[in-house]
Amino acid sequence: MNAPMPHVMNTYGRLPIALSHGKGCWVWDTQGRRYLDGLAGIAVNTLGHGHPKLVPAIQDQVAKLMHSSNYYEVPLQEQLAAKLCEISGLSSAFFCNSGLEANEGAIKIARKFGHDKGIHRPEIIVYEKAFHGRSIATLSATGNPKVQKGFEPLVEGFVRVPLNDLAAVEHEARTNPNVVAVFLEVIQGEGGINQTRAEYLQGLRKICDERDWLLMLDEVQCGLGRTGKWFAHQWASIKPDVMPLAKGLSSGVPVGAIVVGERAKNVLGPGNHGTTFGGNPLAMRAGVETLRIIEEEGLLANSARVGGVLRKALEDGWAGEKGIVEYRGQGLMIGIELDRPCGVLLGQAAEAGLMISVTADRVIRLLPALILSEEEARQIAAILVPLVKRFLADSQPA
Ligand X SMILES: Cc1ncc(COP(=O)(O)O)c(C=O)c1O
Q: Which of 87, 220, 253, 354 binds ligand X (CB under 6 A)?
A: 220
Q: How many residues of this chain bind ligand X (CB under 6 A)?
A: 14
Instruction: Give the closest residue to 397 by CA, choosing from 295, 345, 304, 323.
Output: 323
Q: DSSP assignment, residue 250?
A: G
The distance of Cα 345 from the centroid of its chain, to the nearest Å, equals 22
Helix (H, G, I), strand (E, B) or coil at 335: strand
Nearer to ligand X, 222 or 309 (CB): 222
Q: Is 246 in the site for ligand X (CB under 6 A)?
A: yes
Nearer to ligand X, 43 or 268 (CB): 43
- Continuous segment of H or E residues that includes residue 34: strand 34-37
Smallest gap from Cβ 255 to ligand X, in A, equals 9
Q: Which of 61, 88, 103, 251 binds ligand X (CB under 6 A)?
A: 103
Q: Is 195 in the site for ligand X (CB under 6 A)?
A: no
**What is the secondary structure of 196-237 as a DSSP string?**
PPHHHHHHHHHHHHHHT-EEEEE-TTTTTTTTSSSSGGGGGT
Q: Is 218 in the site for ligand X (CB under 6 A)?
A: yes
Task: Name the CA dihedral angle for 385, 386, 389, 391, rounded to a multiple of 10 degrees.
Answer: -110
Which of the stretches 68-76, 184-192, 325-333, 355-363 binds ligand X when contact is defined by CB under 6 A? 184-192
Which of the stretches 12-20, 97-105, 173-181, 390-398 binds ligand X when contact is defined by CB under 6 A? 97-105
As a whole number of angstroms, the longest Cα–Cα distance in the chain is 61
Smallest gap from Cβ 318 to ligand X, in A, equals 26
Give the Å distances, CA to CA, from 134 to 56, 131, 141, 209: 33, 9, 10, 30
In angstroms, rounded to a whole number, what is the distance separating the alpha carbons of residues 182 and 36? 38
The contacts of residue 283 (CB under 8 Å, 6+ apart) are 95, 97, 250, 253, 254, 255, 277
Q: Is 107 in the site for ligand X (CB under 6 A)?
A: no
Q: Is 287 in the site for ligand X (CB under 6 A)?
A: no
Sketch the per residue contact string, 125 through 164, with ligand X: x for CB under 6 A, - otherwise: ------xxx-------------------------------
Q: Which of 93, 100, 216, 332 binds ligand X (CB under 6 A)?
A: 100
Which residue lies nearest ligand X, judged by its C-beta? 99
Which of the stretches 98-106, 171-179, 205-213, 284-292 binds ligand X when contact is defined by CB under 6 A? 98-106
Q: Is 99 in the site for ligand X (CB under 6 A)?
A: yes
Which of the stretches 94-102, 224-232, 307-315, 343-351 binds ligand X when contact is defined by CB under 6 A? 94-102
